Structure 1
């Protein structure tokens, strides 16, 4: 029997739930395994009644083997009929804003408005060297990249200036209503950039409720008016909390140990990587882990102030376990 609070929340728009996919390659798997699991999870999420599904973008690492969130989104939109598909995120520091805008407008129009573009600054990683955009683009160019992207998603013709200087061109396909746009925020600088443009934030799963609430407060102090922020969170469902925690402790450290080594700086700046075991324990402690009832009650009782969560459901690398989490939460939501 679905919880009465869940029906009330859905009817009032209080709680929106999505699925967040990293497409991580776990020990003993190949990249095809990781991508297939993520693609199948999109279909499971739609069948289970989730509102949206999001895919991460990474380069040169096993932590996540999807190098193009917008390409994955195109595939996901083609396999589904109802669910919104988001990018979490398309990295602007290694992408030309005009090229990304062309792809976004095309997919938004083909899908009938089911695309939700999430963009982020990324990090000072070797991607900047490989793709030729450089460290300055990451350090100083995010706001400029974002403004050009917004213009290309909104205006029929654009002309580039500054670091993106080019003569006026028509945007084809011609933009209509601007697609939904969210900015991943991890620092005061990106919070201010999002707030200045009244764009909602996407907040990471490493932040607990207090950390997410602090980011929202900083956004509001900076003058931002959007309330449509999204919080990513690890979610894992099993027959009991003990069972769920045991599965995560058995699977996550091996994936994290190999995967997080893929974050290689483009310069010689010092970097202290996460301890895989400690990071696993941190995520277990702050996340909805246990039975489906326990997970949903924890989401319901969050103190972050957010009304939209995306659940990272593939933290064990086993498609049967990923599907179990998606379907049990979906069943309790009363939609499967």
Structure 2
């Protein structure tokens, strides 16, 4: 079997179809301008030759590439994968292709990725979060294309932001744990800036309630997932043995804490464990995990719709707060009923 040394070109297609390269290009990119018989000949030539149309080259002519560049911190968490699936599916329904990058929670990596992606002239960019390097912001400003920031709510986005307030989520968790009767809740979290902002909201709510400042155990995001719960809870029990509950920066971390708590003989929910994300296994933990529910799919879908609107040249709502939900399960004590004044 002889292997072609080069890919088939538009000239190859034109020769097989018996038309000019210009007519072949029109039949592929603007079929409504070509007679049906010609379209069929070109279609057969494309199939016979194995030619793949250069969508980028065609897009440069119309100043559209039908390409969207999107980046997320990680695909290890179902929250981001749910958001991505909804985003990509909605964009695909309008014939946009999505190229994906992973920042590993590093703004500098996001900047490097964006520099490479902008050379491909995407019609729009999707970023995760609202914290970016100065150069990233300058690159996007110079590119003059629609930008949607997902996951974090900001009243003053670069273009469009759709998400929720990390600080408000942390504040709501402290108030819930306080309502459950916990007096010394602590924080177990990664160095991720979003987890940091949730911790800030948690600590501010404690200060507002005149409660002790929550102890925090912080570990690098690059540390292995396996063993995080054991290490974080072990460090907490040394630093703050009187802590009676923990707010974890992820459900995965909270599940590790639950497992080690069982091993140590801690009474859960007398020792409360609270997660973040309401991932699939949260309800199957023993006991079932109390957590914060984020509708990642909703964020992704709304983000795609806003970006499509912007790519069509129409205005979109600059900032949308989709909120969050506190999910009470067996890993925390029931909240005390509110007293009527």
Answer whether TM exceeds 0.5 for this pair. no
Q: Which has the larger radius of gyration?
A: 2
TM-score (structure 2 length as normaliser): 0.30
RCO greater where, 1 or 2, for CA within 8 Å and sep 6 or more?
1
